[in-house]
Amino acid sequence: MTEIVIVANAFGADPVWRSGHFPWLGVAADAGAHGFEVRRELFASDADANHEALAKLGAEARKRGLWCVYSTPACLYIEGRLDHHALATAQAEADALGARYVKLQLGTFTGRANAAAIARICAQGRARLLVENGQRAIDDTLARFVALFDAVAEEGAPDVLGMTFDIGNWHWAGEAPLAAAQALAEHVEYIHCKGVTGSGARRFACAPAADDPFFPSIFAILPRRVPRAIEFPLAEQGLADDARRRVAWLAAT
C-alpha cells in the first residue's frame, strides 16, 4: 500500500494562514489520507512554532489517524556551509510535533557534506531528515543533489539523510524530472506530486490530469513503497470531494 499525504498548502496558502492547520486535519483524514504535511511558512506567527503548540497539533493529527511531516523553508546549507542552527531548530520543532519526517531545502551545497555533524544533530531527535529540490535554479540543480549524496557516501554516512523528490519543482530549476528520477531514485523517501503550468517566472502548480501519462512513467522509476504527497491545489468548490478523489487517484497510479 502506498501511503498518501496531503500538504497543507494544497488547501490554499491564505486559508491555512488565516485559520491555522487544525481545521484541515479533519478534511485530510476524511479524504482517506494517511499523513499531513505541516508547513512552517504558513504559521500566522512564531507562537505557532513553539513546542507546546506543535505538540497540540501533532496530538490532534494522531487522534485523527494521521502521521505528520514537518516542512520548513530553511536551507540545510548556506554558501556551502552546513547551517547547524537551522537543522537543530527544525529537528526540535519536528520532534515536538511528533513528525515522521523533517524536510528542509538543500540550499547552496558546494561539496563538503559535514555528515558527522548532521548525524550528531539528528541523533538527538526522532524525525528522519529529508532534503527537497526546490524552485531556486541557483541551488536546486540535479548536479547539486548528486554531489550531496556522493559526498555523504564518501564521508562514510550514506544513510544520514534522504530526499523529498518534488516532481514539479524540477521545472523551475530547468531540469528534466525523468532524468532526475533516474539519477536519484535510490535516495528518494518521500514524493511531492504536482503538475506545472506556464513558463519562466510565470509557472504555477496545478492538479495533474487523471489520464496524464507522465505521472505513471515517473512513479515507475521512483520507489513504490515511499509516501506520495498531494501538493497541488485542490478545488475550492467541492474541496472535500476533490480531496477524496485525488487521494484515491494518487494511491492507484
Q: What is the mean pLDDT of residues 123-139?
A: 94
Percent of the chain with pLDDT over 90: 94
The pLDDT tens digits of the residues spanning 51-71 come to 999 999 999 999 999 999 999
Rounded CA-CA distance 183/5 in Å is 24
Q: What is the mean pLDDT of residues 80-99?
A: 98
Has residue 223 got a pLDDT over 90? yes
Burial letters 202-215, b for 16+ CB under 10 A, else e: eeebebbeeeeeeb
Topology, domain 4-252: TIM Barrel (3.20.20)
The mean predicted confidence, pLDDT, of the chain is 96
Half-sphere exposure of 23 (CA within 13 A, CB side): 10
Tell me the residue type at 166: D
Alpha-carbon torsion 140, 187, 109, 182, what sign?
A: negative
pLDDT at residue 137, rounded to an integer: 87
Read off the pTM. Answer: 0.97
Q: What is the DSSP string of 100-144?
A: SEEEEEEE---S---HHHHHHHHHT--SEEEEE--S-TTT--HHH
Has residue 128 got a pLDDT over 80? yes
pLDDT at residue 138, rounded to an integer: 87
Q: Which of 52-66, 80-94, 184-198, 206-220 has the lowest mean pLDDT?
A: 206-220
In the chain, where the domains are located:
4-252
CA-CA-CA-CA torsion for 128, 131, 134, 140, nearest 10 degrees? -170
Q: What is the mean pLDDT of residues 90-97?
A: 98
The pLDDT tens digits of the residues spanning 3-27 come to 999 999 999 999 999 999 999 999 9
Has residue 248 got a pLDDT over 90? yes
pLDDT at residue 212, rounded to an integer: 86
